[in-house]
């Protein structure tokens, strides 16, 4: 490395990370002493040392040279995405992400189908190995009914404590016990009852009703864990790791395919919320991965390729079929296909056939997976929300009262736009836990970093211009409106003045293309500092994981 400025930045950043890490060690030790878990300090040091090593590694990759040349962002991302994802995987244990236990059970059901094992009980509940029941009943609160073919919580049983739903120090203790081979309450009860390893238990949590494609990576991990008779914690980590591996691989493919704007996608992939989701069981991984690659293919065909091949159309159809049905609101992303000139298809006939193939793939999977839900929302004159039991907004009502719809949109943006921004970056990690928040000064830094990555640098050509830019903005606006409309119908009671249930992470799939379209001739940087920005964003994540670990340790 010959750049003294780069060396100084790495030295200062790594030194600051070391000092802040030692500062948070005091919190970890205080929590360890209060809980009587001395091993927490050892775990923290096992996190702190790799974090410092990662700060140096990222600096070398992004600021340095190898054999006289700099590595490209495409070459660097797999190391950055995988390493940061693994650190988030360590700090945020299984079931701590939004709705993760439901995503986990959905993948578990698919693994049972693959292995030819019983999937559901007669009552329609998901069946898991008795030892895996620990994630639902981490403290053994259930009174167990063993009279049937499967164990279940007896009627009148107290509400159990699910692992990681509120991430506290005792969640780390549970993970530690599982990693060290300590018996879970379920295993003790199984031994006392004389049951075998093949005994199954039914859960009280529900699965997610969506396309099975959204859970293929997680299912592969669980299948491997069950085939090799891994215990519960390794089973959960295998499922999460395969999801992380899939996300990093798909984002890498998107970076390779992008003709420009790679630094923007790299930056969005480094947001705390993105990394937190990528290292979980969430089907948001499939949505993000498919929409990132879908965007990259559309932009490549629109601005770089001379012609559209059949393989390109098939890929677009596959991506939309896999990611679209998870949240149908992202169907609007198909509008990016209209950026591709008709001449590249070879004429209007081939263009129309391609459009039918892409839209038809999405519609066919939608008909298989979500037809009942769509019909219910479209035909209902009035709705009752399943969560609260209150009367909600029906599509029929909103179509007859468009002013009310616009008023709800306006009020929501007026009162919650700041919340969407904060939660998109990562102000509430874990299971939407405000205690597990990225500090506000880092939220500002990540936001500024993304905006700077979206500005032109000296010598960079302005690619997205004129009507195409405004079309991209329109696609993003339609996605936003669809998200708000869906939550207005599915989640918001009639008594509310604003739309409830919208979360900032829902905007991540189209954030990269929105930022790419923001490049213009009026805001141009005087120097290309993109690599320095990405390096600092990587190091900010290293601080986030250190701080989060200390916060959880103090949360007794």
Lowest mean pLDDT among 55-69, 247-261, 460-474: 55-69
Q: Are 117 and 167 in contact (CB under 8 A)?
A: no
pLDDT in tens, 277-323: 999 999 999 999 999 999 999 999 999 999 999 999 999 999 999 99
Residue 200 has pLDDT above 70, yes or no: yes
Please give the Cα distance from 244 to 286 (Å, whole number). Answer: 10
Residue 474 has pLDDT above 90, yes or no: yes
Q: 118 — alpha (psi -120 to 50), left (phi > 0) or beta?
A: beta
Taken as a whole, the chain contains a residue count of 556
Lowest mean pLDDT among 1-5, 9-13, 308-312: 1-5
Task: Enumerate the H helices of 36-72 as residue ranges.
Answer: 39-63
- pLDDT given at position 192: 74
Please give the Cα distance from 265 to 509 (Å, whole number). Answer: 10
Residue 368 has pLDDT above 70, yes or no: yes
In 3D space, the residue among 465, 87, 445, 453 whose CA is nearest the CA of residue 265 turns out to be 453
Residue 543 has pLDDT above 80, yes or no: yes
Residue 534 has pLDDT above 70, yes or no: yes
Lowest mean pLDDT among 159-173, 181-195, 303-317: 181-195
Count of alpha carbons within 13 angstroms of residue 302, beta-carbon side: 20
* Residue with more model confidence, 377 or 513: 513
Q: With H, G, I as helix, E, B as strand and everything else as coil, classify residue 152.
A: strand
Separate counts of helices (H) and strands (E) for the chain: 20, 6
In 3D space, the residue among 90, 126, 123 whose CA is nearest the CA of residue 108 turns out to be 126
Q: With H, G, I as helix, E, B as strand and everything else as coil, classify residue 70.
A: coil
Q: With H, G, I as helix, E, B as strand and everything else as coil, classify residue 50.
A: helix
Q: Are 538 and 54 in contact (CB under 8 A)?
A: yes
Tell me the two tokens of residue 122.
């007669």
Count of Cβ atoms closer than 10 Å to residue 460 Cβ: 14
Count of alpha carbons within 13 angstroms of residue 77, beta-carbon side: 24
- pLDDT given at position 438: 95
- pLDDT given at position 377: 60
Share the mean pLDDT of the chain: 92
In 3D space, the residue among 149, 158, 159, 145 whose CA is nearest the CA of residue 127 turns out to be 149
pLDDT band at 374 (very low <50, low <70, confident <90, very high): low
Tell me the two tokens of residue 101.
């236990």
pLDDT in tens, 388-446: 668 888 888 898 899 999 999 999 999 999 999 999 999 999 999 999 999 999 999 99
Lowest mean pLDDT among 110-124, 183-197, 352-366: 183-197
- pLDDT given at position 547: 97
- pLDDT given at position 162: 86
Please give the Cα distance from 394 to 489 (Å, whole number). Answer: 6
Q: Which one-letter DSSP state was computed for residue 332? A: G
In 3D space, the residue among 512, 382, 387 whose CA is nearest the CA of residue 450 turns out to be 512
Query: Averaged over 372-383, what is the pLDDT?
Result: 60
Q: Are 29 and 47 in contact (CB under 8 A)?
A: no
Q: Are 456 and 519 in contact (CB under 8 A)?
A: yes
pLDDT in tens, 238-274: 999 999 999 999 999 999 999 999 999 999 999 999 9
Query: Averaged over 4-31, what is the pLDDT?
Result: 92
Residue 140 has pLDDT above 90, yes or no: no
In 3D space, the residue among 288, 279, 287 whose CA is nearest the CA of residue 545 turns out to be 279
pLDDT band at 68 (very low <50, low <70, confident <90, very high): low
- pTM value is 0.95
Tell me the two tokens of residue 207.
């699965």
Please give the Cα distance from 197 to 186 (Å, whole number). Answer: 12
- pLDDT given at position 373: 63
In 3D space, the residue among 451, 444, 426 whose CA is nearest the CA of residue 263 turns out to be 451
Q: What share of the chain is helix, strand, coil (3-state, %, to 5)?
A: 65, 5, 30
Got the DSSP string for 155-180? Answer: TTPPPP--TTSS--HHHHHHHHHHHT
Residue 372 has pLDDT above 90, yes or no: no
- pLDDT given at position 159: 78
* Residue with more model confidence, 248 or 460: 248
Distance set, CA 49 to CA 43, 94, 152, 375 (Å) = 10, 23, 43, 54
In 3D space, the residue among 548, 539, 533 whose CA is nearest the CA of residue 447 turns out to be 533
pLDDT over 90 percentage in the chain: 76
- pLDDT given at position 158: 73
Residue 519 has pLDDT above 80, yes or no: yes
The distance of Cα 298 from the centroid of its chain, to the nearest Å, equals: 22
Query: Averaged over 347-364, what is the pLDDT?
Result: 95
Query: Averaged over 494-501, what is the pLDDT?
Result: 93
- pLDDT given at position 46: 96
Count of alpha carbons within 13 angstroms of residue 513, beta-carbon side: 33
pLDDT band at 184 (very low <50, low <70, confident <90, very high): confident
Q: Are 351 and 345 in contact (CB under 8 A)?
A: yes
Task: Enumerate the H helices of 260-309 as residue ranges.
Answer: 262-269, 272-278, 284-303
């Amino acid at each position: 490395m010959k750049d003294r400025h780069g060396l100084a930045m790495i030295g200062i950043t790594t030194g600051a990370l070391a000092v802040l890490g030692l500062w948070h060690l005091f919190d970890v030790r205080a929590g360890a002493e209060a809980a009587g878990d001395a091993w927490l300090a050892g775990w923290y040091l096992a996190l702190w040392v790799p974090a410092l090593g990662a700060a140096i590694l990222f600096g070398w990759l992004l600021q340095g040279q190898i054999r006289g040349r700099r590595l490209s962002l495409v070459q660097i991302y797999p190391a950055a995405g995988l390493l940061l994802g693994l650190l988030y995987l360590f700090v945020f244990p299984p079931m701590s992400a939004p709705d993760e236990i439901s995503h986990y059970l959905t993948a578990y059901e698919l693994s049972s189908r693959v292995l030819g094992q019983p999937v559901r009980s007669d009552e329609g509940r998901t069946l898991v190995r008795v030892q895996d029941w620990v994630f639902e009943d981490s403290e053994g609160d259930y009174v167990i009914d063993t009279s049937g073919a499967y164990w279940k919580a007896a009627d009148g049983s107290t509400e159990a404590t699910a692992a990681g739903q509120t991430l506290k120090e005792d969640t780390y203790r549970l993970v530690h016990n599982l990693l060290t081979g300590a018996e879970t309450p379920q295993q003790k009860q199984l031994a006392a009852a004389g049951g075998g390893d093949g005994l199954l238990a039914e859960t009280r949590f529900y699965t997610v009703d969506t396309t099975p494609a959204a859970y293929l990576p997680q299912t592969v991990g669980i299948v491997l864990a069950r085939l090799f008779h891994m215990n519960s914690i390794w089973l959960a980590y295998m499922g999460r790791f395969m999801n992380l591996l899939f996300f990093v691989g798909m984002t890498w493919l998107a970076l390779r395919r992008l003709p420009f704007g790679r630094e923007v996608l790299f930056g969005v992939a480094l947001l705390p919320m993105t990394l937190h989701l990528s290292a979980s069981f969430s089907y948001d991984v499939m949505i993000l991965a498919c929409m990132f690659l879908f965007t990259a293919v559309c932009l490549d065909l629109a601005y770089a390729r001379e012609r559209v091949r059949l393989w390109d159309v098939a890929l677009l159809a596959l991506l939309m079929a896999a990611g679209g049905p998870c949240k149908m609101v992202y169907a609007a992303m198909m509008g990016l296909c209209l950026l591709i000139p008709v001449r590249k298809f070879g004429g209007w006939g081939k263009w129309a056939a391609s459009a039918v193939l892409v839209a038809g793939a999405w519609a066919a999977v939608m008909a298989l997976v979500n037809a009942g839900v769509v019909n219910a929302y479209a035909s209902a004159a009035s709705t009752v929300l399943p969560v609260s039991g209150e009367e909600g907004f029906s599509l029929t009502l909103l179509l007859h009262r468009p002013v009310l719809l616009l008023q709800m949109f306006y009020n929501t943006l007026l009162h919650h736009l700041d919340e969407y921004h904060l939660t998109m970056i990562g102000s509430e990690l874990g299971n939407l836990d405000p205690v597990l928040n990225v500090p506000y000064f880092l939220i500002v830094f990540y936001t500024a970093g993304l905006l700077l990555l979206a500005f032109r640098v000296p010598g960079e050509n302005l690619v997205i211009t004129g009507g195409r830019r405004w079309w991209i903005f329109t696609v993003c606006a339609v996605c936003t409106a669809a998200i708000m409309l869906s939550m207005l119908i599915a989640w918001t009671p009639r008594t509310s003045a604003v739309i409830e249930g919208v979360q900032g992470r829902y905007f991540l799939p189209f954030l990269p293309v929105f930022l790419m379209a923001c490049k213009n001739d009026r805001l141009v940087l005087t120097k290309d500092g993109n690599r320095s920005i990405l390096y600092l964003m990587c190091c900010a994540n290293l601080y986030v994981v250190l701080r989060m670990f200390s916060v959880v340790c103090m949360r007794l």
